[in-house]
Amino acid sequence: MSGEFSHITVLLNEAVEALAIRPDGVYVDATFGRGGHSGRILAALGPVGRLIAFDRDPRAIEAGRALNDPRLTLVHEPFSAFAGELDALGVGAVDGVLMDLGVSSPQLDDASRGMSFRFDAPLDMRMDPTRGETAAEWLARASVAEISNVLREYGDERFAYAIAKAIDAARQGGNVATTGQLAEIVAATVRTREPGQHPATRTFQALRICVNRELEELSLILPQAVSRLKTEGRLVVIAFHSLEDRIVKRFMRDHAKPPALPKGLPIREAERPQPPLLLVGDAIKPSKAEVAANPRSRSAIMRVAARSASAWEYAG
């Protein structure tokens, strides 16, 4: 979709192909963004097919309305609300769920969102600017230990404690309220960094993940998605951060194992319950051509699983 801030959809063909779309199926795009994947899914659906698209960002929801497609239902909620929102819509099992994780280009490129050190703007970072605590508000109340832990855990920042102490010193004279202030504090603290990387890159990433509870949201939706998939329904997840991908990889791997049975239970191998998920292919990364055309795709990795025909009911 076009707009004031453009977004190039990553692994567009690969992700939609992995859903193995049925023309009369019901699908969920858990991260609508600017509708790249959703538009392609709708193109593959027939007249009675249905797509439910989630997004926390009210601007994404507004962009989605421009599609004006009666088969599309937009939901302005975090995807952790997956099961409850499907219940409210009267939707039971679905044929596929797609998640394109992380932040979208419009969110990064819009200075007012406060997610990038490229602009001096209010330090917001919320994917939904109508709800919750801003990054500035979190920094104003968090302890040095809490800030340090977030930078270390979510940003793999080796200077986490030094940055946390510098933030604490700076806020003694007032809140750290803008992206420019934060970037300057970090740059003055971190004297060495990988070539071509801004000193504040890891700090901004870590705070964004923290403010939006991105890893918690992911951990909450995965079991809900599996519980709603029809037999052979596909779960397709694109991650951009190693922590996200680790959660997805472990979840799919663990749920592709047969359920544990009591020791000594006399049962034939053929009678063992199937696991709830079956892994589909290997992890997929963008081609060299895609990375060259869209450098922001370089860290993307897509994993796919399908719901098994197991009689063992998966409850999450």
CA angle 311, 312, 313 (to 5 degrees): 105
- The binding site consists of 35-37, 55, 79, 100, 107
Contact 155, 147 (CB under 8 A): no
The residues facing 74 across adjacent strands are 53
- The binding site for S-adenosyl-L-methionine consists of 35-37, 55, 79, 100, 107
Contact 220, 212 (CB under 8 A): no
